[in-house]
């Protein structure tokens, strides 16, 4: 695929395939649209099934499957196929992997990824090709700002959206000097940047930003540095297996006893059983909390547990909502994947009760959502309050198809 793409552009390839398809259709198949309707709908999933984000990819996928099963395993009356590809959370492989799904598999819909660097490459190609795409985790701000496209939707969050409110909240708590620490890639940098924006606006100051190569988990030297800097608090973003390691090391090094730990909610989401007592008392902000007493959340958590034997987390919620959007849009067009404008409109206007709260899109196809303040208490991300209601990413819209 790669060497082929070096000499033949994606567009040429698509054009040639389409022409070959038409020629054979003219010879053998009189009613192309009817045949197209009968074929399985293909949904490509570019998600991490290995590495530090593997658990995130599995929960997104399994919750999508649950949502689709609850809808009778049909999309607009048609059978479908999920084409799963391991992204390995590797931006260097993201363009080739996206091409495998769009050009190779000719998927009707594309979804994923978890990693912001993978999302930038994926969204760029999806925008060029017009493939209807639902980003089910990655928070890269650009995806719903400057790279925004009529065919690009997000069911998760922007990196700015979940972290700006924590800046305001920490200043409100009287904290003045903070150190932030994260992995050195788009998501980490945008999250600590948004936190800093909120914190400094409210009078706080960030004394040091520590960046660690992704996905390294050797934190000892950084923890020694943090202890020496003696800030009022630390703000961190890590996720998946890396978050488990960071929170445990933070406690075991003795730093936690002196310097309270705050972070983006991913630091303690889906990770609490593995973090144990080390996570107690950690404060985070996120667009979801396990213990939200909403009927849709209680129902979803119960169904996910029955289907997988695991507890749902924010990633599962995002996968489930991705399925909800697909189901509603495909119902609207009665399975006609060619009705792009109608599909886009149906996704923009979809209304349903997400486990996180009422579903609503901004003009940039990013969800408008409450950001909760949570504290880990007795192994649960307990909701302390709403850090900020109806947070909308500053993206201003991407125009219609």
State in angstroms the smallest separation of the CB of 391 from ligand PHB.
Answer: 16
CA distances from residue 77 to 39, 82, 332, 336 in whole angstroms, order as listed = 11, 16, 11, 10
Residue 376 sits in the site that holds ligand PHB (CB under 6 A):
no
Q: Answer positive or negative: Cα dihedral of 299, 314, 351, 111.
A: negative
Residue labelled with tokens 């932030």:
180
Distance (Å, whole) CA 294 – CA 314:
15
Q: Which of residues 48 and 335 has its CB atom nearest to ligand PHB in the complex?
A: 48
Site string for ligand PHB, 102-121 (x = CB under 6 A): ------------xxx-----
3-state secondary structure of 148: coil
Other beta carbons within 10 angstroms of residue 331's beta carbon come to 15
Rounded to whole angstroms, the Cα distance separating 82 from 61 reads 9
170-199 footprint of ligand PHB as x/- string (CB under 6 A): -----------------x------------
Q: Quote the least distance from Cβ 372 to ligand PHB, whole Å.
A: 16
> Interface with ligand PHB by CB under 6 A: which range of 137-145, 147-155, 366-374, 391-399?
137-145
The interface region with ligand PHB, picked from 133-141, 288-296, 322-330, 355-363 by CB under 6 A, is 133-141
User: Exposed, middle or buried by CB within 10 Å (0-12, 13-18, 19+), for 26?
Assistant: exposed
Least gap, CB of 89 to ligand PHB (angstroms): 8
Nearest to ligand PHB of 227, 274 (CB atom): 274
Number of residues that bind ligand PHB (CB under 6 A): 10
Nearer to ligand PHB, 181 or 187 (CB): 187
Residue window 45-74: x/- pattern of binding to ligand PHB, with contact defined by CB under 6 A: ------------------------------
Say which DSSP state 280 is in: T
| Distance from C-alpha of 207 to C-alpha of 219, rounded to nearest angstrom | 19
**Per the omega criterion (within 30 degrees of 0), is the bond before 215 cis?**
yes
Min CB(188)–ligand PHB separation in Å: 8
Encoded one letter per residue, x for contact with ligand PHB by CB under 6 A and - for no contact, window 138-167 reads: xxx---------------------------
Which string of x and - marks every residue 230-269 that binds ligand PHB (by CB under 6 A)? ---------x--------------------------x---
Query: Cβ distance 152 to 178 under 8 Å?
Result: no
CB-wise, 288 or 304, nearer to ligand PHB?
288
d(Cα 357, Cα 341) in Å, to the nearest integer?
Answer: 27
Name which of 104 and 394 has its Cβ closer to ligand PHB.
Answer: 394
Encoded tokens for 238: 């890590």
| 55 CB-near residues (< 8 Å, 6+ apart) | 240, 241, 270, 315
Give the strands of the sheet with 233-237, arranged side by side.
Answer: 205-212, 177-183, 233-237, 261-264, 283-286, 369-377, 380-391
Binding site for ligand PHB (CB under 6 A): 114-116, 137-140, 187, 239, 266
């Amino acid at each position: 695929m790669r060497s082929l793409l070096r000499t033949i552009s994606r567009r040429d390839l698509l054009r040639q395939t389409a022409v070959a398809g038409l020629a054979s259709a003219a010879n053998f198949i009189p009613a192309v649209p009817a045949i197209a309707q009968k074929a399985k709908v293909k949904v490509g999933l570019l998600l991490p099934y290995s590495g530090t984000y593997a658990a995130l990819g599995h929960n997104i996928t399994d919750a999508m499957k649950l949502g689709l099963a609850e809808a009778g395993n049909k999309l607009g009356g048609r059978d479908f196929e999920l084409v799963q590809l391991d992204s390995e959370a590797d931006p260097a492989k993201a363009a080739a992997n996206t091409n495998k799904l769009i050009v190779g598999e000719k998927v009707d819909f594309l979804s994923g990824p978890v990693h912001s660097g993978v999302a930038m490459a994926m969204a760029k190609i999806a925008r060029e090709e017009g493939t209807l795409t639902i980003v089910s985790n990655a928070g890269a701000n650009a995806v719903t700002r400057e790279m925004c496209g009529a065919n690009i939707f997000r069911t998760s969050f922007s990196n700015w959206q979940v972290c700006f409110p924590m800046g305001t909240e920490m200043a409100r708590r009287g904290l003045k000097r903070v150190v932030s620490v994260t992995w050195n890639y788009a998501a980490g940098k945008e999250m600590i940047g948004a936190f800093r924006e909120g914190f400094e606006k409210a009078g706080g100051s960030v004394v040091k930003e520590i960046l660690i190569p992704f996905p390294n988990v050797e934190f000892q030297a950084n923890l020694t540095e943090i202890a020496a800097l003696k800030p009022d608090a630390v703000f961190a973003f890590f996720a998946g297996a890396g978050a488990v390691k960071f929170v445990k090391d933070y406690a075991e090094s003795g730093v936690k006893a002196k310097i309270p730990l705050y972070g983006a909610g991913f630091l303690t989401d889906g990770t609490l059983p593995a973090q144990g007592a080390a996570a107690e008392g950690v404060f985070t902000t996120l667009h979801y909390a396990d213990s939200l007493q909403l009927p849709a959340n209680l129902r979803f958590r119960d169904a996910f547990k029955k289907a997988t034997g695991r507890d749902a987390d924010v990633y599962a919620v995002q996968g489930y909502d991705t399925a909800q959007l697909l189901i509603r849009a495909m119902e609207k067009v009665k399975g006609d994947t060619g009705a792009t404008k109608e599909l886009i409109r149906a996704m923009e206007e979809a209304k349903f009760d997400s486990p996180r709260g009422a579903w609503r899109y901004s003009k940039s196809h990013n969800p408008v959502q409450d950001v909760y303040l949570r504290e880990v208490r007795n192994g649960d991300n307990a909701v302390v309050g709403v850090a900020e209601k109806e947070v909308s990413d500053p993206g201003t819209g991407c125009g219609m198809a």
